[in-house]
Amino acid sequence: MTARAARWVSVRLVAGDDVPAVTELLLRSRGHLALWEPLHDDSSTEASQRASVAALLERHAAGTHLPLDDVVRGAFPSAATGSWVDARSTGRGVATAAVAATARLAFGELGLHRSEASTPLHHTASQRVLARNGSTRVGTAPRCVRIAGRWQDHHLRQLLDEEAPR
């Protein structure tokens, strides 16, 4: 990760005012993301993004969504993390810096014990981003997520609080 990326990348909760920019990013990156994303019929429209953001904010109000997803408390304090970057930002340390910022949030502010992520087997760039941030591979889940219209195996990775880079 470049030091420059680490300085200007931050993680925060999405807001309704972000919808036009997110929609524009999705439209611009549609081809770039096609290999790594589920098929989305109309997710690139501003109306669908408004609905998606509203749902995320409802989950946030319920305590199950932050800039992390599926936040669990109690005996299993954990969350799932995922990321994507605009096609113009790949290879510049942005994803690595964003995952690092998410880990700081998870283990610092939220006091979680574990963060998990999964990647399609062929998505080596995301696997490198997660490894750079200290995560370890814990297995492979067959037919885990439907990506690009077909069920795909995924590498499962985790980062534990005591293993996270500081």
Which domain CATH number covers 153?
Answer: 3.40.630.30
82 in Cβ contact with 117 (< 8 Å) = yes
Q: Quick one: pLDDT at residue 1? A: 46
Question: What pLDDT is recorded for position 10?
Answer: 84
Q: What is the pTM of this model?
A: 0.86
Q: Which residue has the higher pLDDT, 134 or 36?
A: 134
Q: How high is the mean pLDDT of the chain?
A: 89
Instruction: Note down the domain range covering 65.
Output: 3-163
pLDDT of residue 118: 95
Q: How far apart are CA 59 and CA 72, in angstroms?
A: 12
Q: How many domains does the chain have?
A: 1
- C-alpha distances (whole Å) from 98 to each of 43, 95, 104, 138, 139 are 23, 5, 10, 22, 24
Nearest to 106 by CA among 151, 36, 166, 49: 166
Highest mean pLDDT range out of 44-53, 63-72, 83-92, 140-149? 140-149
159 beta partners: 115
Structure tokens at 155: 């590498």
| Residue whose pair of structure tokens reads 């941030």 in the numeric block | 133
pLDDT confidence band for 43 (50 / 70 / 90): low
Give the pLDDT band of residue 5 (cuts 50, 70, 90).
Answer: low
Tell me what percent of the residues of the chain surpass a pLDDT of 70: 94
Nearest to 25 by CA among 49, 41, 59, 57: 49
CB 96 within 8 A of CB 105: no
Tokens representing 127? 């696997």
